[in-house]
């Protein structure tokens, strides 16, 4: 297992220096491979933006998080989903596009203002280990908006009367 300094990665993300972030993750993947790893798992949605660079530089399998997610979604018979994540995950095609192209899912994302809320909460609260009730309520509101647009699934947190 390899852990990177998230502060460094976050800075590179927000400065649009993805090639430098890729160099860091490729080096980590190569270290894992040289250490005897059988496969690579990247435990972050956003950094899957760099999956192709990682795959191109190792000889062991890369298990893509979007594939595992989509397999569970399709196994449940769900076709239309809401996607929450960092702005990068929601707006760029490396994750959403893979769900659409490889699995035929219809992927909804929040409107621009709500995407900014989701992104801010991730970086300013969740990454810092903060759970804020008002943010939880905002997330619920945003998810209810996606449900109103047809997002499917099981919503145990939603109490409809």
- Both tokens of residue 43? 């435990």
Per-residue pLDDT at 86 exceeds 60: yes
Q: Which residue has the tokens 């196994």?
A: 75
Report the CATH number of the 78-148 domain: 3.40.50.1860
Is residue 158 very low, low, confident or very high in pLDDT (cuts 50, 70, 90)? low
Per-residue model confidence as pLDDT tens digits over 4-13 = 988 899 999 9
- pLDDT score at 157: 52
Cβ neighbours for 160, distance < 8 A, ≥ 6 positions apart? none
Per-residue pLDDT at 155 exceeds 90: no
Q: So where are the chain's domains?
A: 6-63, 78-148
Is residue 161 very low, low, confident or very high in pLDDT (cuts 50, 70, 90)? very low
Per-residue pLDDT at 156 exceeds 60: no
- Which of the pair, 160 or 134, is modelled with greater confidence? 134
Query: Contacts for 55-60 with beta carbons within 8 Å, 24 or more apart?
Result: 57/26, 57/29, 57/30, 58/26, 58/29, 58/30, 58/32, 58/33, 59/33, 60/32, 60/33
What is the average per-residue pLDDT within 83-103?
A: 94
Per-residue model confidence as pLDDT tens digits over 4-53 = 988 899 999 999 999 999 999 999 999 999 999 999 999 999 999 999 99
Domains 6-63 and 78-148 share a fold: yes
Per-residue model confidence as pLDDT tens digits over 120-130 = 999 999 988 99
What pTM does this model have? 0.85
Report the CATH number of the 6-63 domain: 3.40.50.1860
Per-residue pLDDT at 137 exceeds 60: yes
Task: Name which of 84, 86, 87 is nearest 109 in CA terms.
Answer: 84
């Amino acid at each position: 297992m390899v852990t990177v300094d998230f502060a460094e990665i976050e800075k590179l993300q927000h400065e649009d220096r993805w090639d430098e972030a890729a160099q860091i993750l490729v080096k980590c993947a190569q270290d894992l491979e040289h250490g005897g790893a059988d496969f690579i798992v990247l435990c972050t949605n956003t950094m899957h933006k760099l999956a192709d660079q990682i795959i191109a530089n190792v000889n062991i399998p890369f298990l893509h998080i979007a594939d595992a997610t989509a397999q569970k979604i399709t196994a449940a018979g769900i076709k239309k989903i809401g996607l929450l994540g960092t702005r990068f995950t929601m707006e760029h095609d490396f994750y959403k596009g893979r769900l659409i192209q490889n699995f035929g899912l219809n992927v909804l994302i929040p409107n621009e203002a709500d995407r900014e809320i989701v992104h801010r909460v991730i970086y300013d609260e969740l990454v810092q280990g903060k759970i804020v009730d008002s943010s939880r309520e905002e997330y619920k509101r945003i998810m209810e908006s996606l449900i109103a647009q047809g997002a499917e699934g099981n919503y145990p947190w939603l109490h409809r009367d």
